[in-house]
Amino acid sequence: MIVYLILTAVSIAVNNIYAQFGHGVRSAAMTLMFLYPLLGGALFYFTLGLIVPRISDRRNYRLFYNIYNSGIAVLTVGSLLKGILDIAGTASGYVQLFQVAGWAGAAAGLVCLIAMVFKRRELS
Sign of CA dihedral 74, 80, 84, 89: positive
Q: How far apart are the first and last CA of the chain?
A: 28
Q: DSSP letters along 13-53, please?
A: HHHHHHHHHTTT---HHHHTTTHIIIIIIIIHHHHHHHHST
Between residues 55 and 75, the one the model is more confident about: 75
Domain ranges of the chain: 2-123
| CB neighbour burial string for 14-25, b if at least 16 within 10 angstroms, e if fewer | ebeebbeebeee
CB 90 within 8 A of CB 32: no
pLDDT band at 92 (very low <50, low <70, confident <90, very high): very high
pLDDT band at 121 (very low <50, low <70, confident <90, very high): low
Total Cβ atoms within 10 A of residue 117: 15
Would you state the pLDDT for residue 23? 81
Helix (H) / strand (E) containing 57: none
CB 66 within 8 A of CB 108: no
pTM exceeds cut of 0.75: yes
pLDDT band at 123 (very low <50, low <70, confident <90, very high): low
Sign of CA dihedral 8, 10, 13, 18: negative
